[in-house]
Structure 1
């Protein structure tokens, strides 16, 4: 093996996407194990991926760009999980919405450190004062859209009295987000078995 001990050979030409994925995997593992995005340093990520730190720069210019990529990937995974859970629930819109809520909470409990980072401090606004496109509110737009679609389907089926699914989807997300946070910090609390339904039903205006 050439190079420093413990470092693997570089990717062949055209394999840059593979190396980028390995860097992201190492960064995600660091975040999950350390619980602090500040632990995701270039040196630590390089060590986890088995590469030289200089090999990171063609893919990520700095530490913050790596963390942002991890967050983007986490939001994409969350949306995929919600979509899959709803599809597996069948055609009944109430069941689909409930499955979506359960999947959201499961993601938060399975990846608590990742979840906290996803909704951490927003990035500074642009020079013109507009919000950064990398703010959680923007990165999570796909997730909110799935909730809006779920509520809209319930309205169409006559099992939801919402007259503004977009606004009520935000309210439902706030409820789920609060429950996810409390479950993380109050692990010993005797949560009711049906707490998800108790939160989701009134916020969704289900009948």
Structure 2
């Protein structure tokens, strides 16, 4: 596929690496990870997925652009790999929060929600790419499929449903549809994460996260 954004590439000072040492046989996976690392770095630096082109990524890694093709057929495939890795990172953060929380359903639910908000605050550019519509691949015009996109974040949503359902089972939430209410809770968390990012000067109440979580999860006072 033609690298349509390549004409806008302007080498930034210090971004070009020396020619990369060729991998030994069996080390092709290392180059693949370096390509994904480079794309993520460019995204962090610019906040614009259009700067992540085959040429800019190749320049960052220190390889020729055609060397990318054995690993990724096009730019959307690189971006999909970046986004998949970030969703895996998010899932790891949420799982760790559950494991470190007090052994009560309410604590686990609150831990998952706060870990989600912390992830959004700590990785703003990647979060915007994952959830904010920054990256919208052209289906049918790239290697990325609708199924690829539909699966993104599924594990994290299942975890949110799980911890909310545990609260319902324990009599700590009055939700009669944990799947729908977990979806509503995620929408609320995403909205809060987005507004905190774009309205940093707003005098947010200190307990705004708890208010959002308690209301949308239908938590009881007990």
Change (3 A) 1:89 1:125: same
8 Å CA contact 1:124–1:132 kept in 2: the answer is no
Give 1:89's aligned residue.
Answer: 101
Q: Which ranges of 4 or more aligned residues in structure 1 deviate by more than 4 Å?
A: 121-126
Give the distance between the partners of 1:91 and 1:189, measured in 2 at CA. Answer: 35
- What stretches of structure 1 of length at least 5 have no aligned partner? none
Match of residue 172, structure 2, among 155, 159, 163 = 159
Give the distance between the partners of 1:151 and 1:5, measured in 2 at CA. Answer: 48
**Residue 161 of structure 2 corresponds to residue 144 of structure 1:** no
**1:95-141 CA-partner distances (Å, limit 9, x unpaired):** 11111111111111111111111122555567xxxx81133x53121
Give 2:10's aligned residue.
Answer: none
State the shift of 1:51 in Å. 2.0
**Residue 187 of structure 2 corresponds to residue 174 of structure 1:** yes
- Give matches, 1:18-29, under 5 Å: 18-29=30-41
Match of residue 52, structure 1, among 60, 64, 75 = 64
Question: What is the root-mean-square deviation of aligned Cα atoms in Å?
Answer: 1.9
- Give matches, 1:191-202, under 5 Å: 191-202=204-215
Give the distance between the partners of 2:170 and 2:18, measured in 1 at CA. Answer: 58
**1:6-53 CA-partner distances (Å, limit 9, x unpaired):** 112111110111111111111101111110110101111112222222
Paired residues in the alignment total 200
- What stretches of structure 2 of length at least 5 have no aligned partner? 1-15
**Residue 132 of structure 2 corresponds to residue 132 of structure 1:** no
TM-score by length of 1: 0.90
State the shift of 1:187 in Å. 1.0
Give the distance between the partners of 1:5 and 1:35, measured in 2 at CA. Answer: 21
TM-score by length of 2: 0.85
8 Å CA contact 2:17–2:61 kept in 1: the answer is no
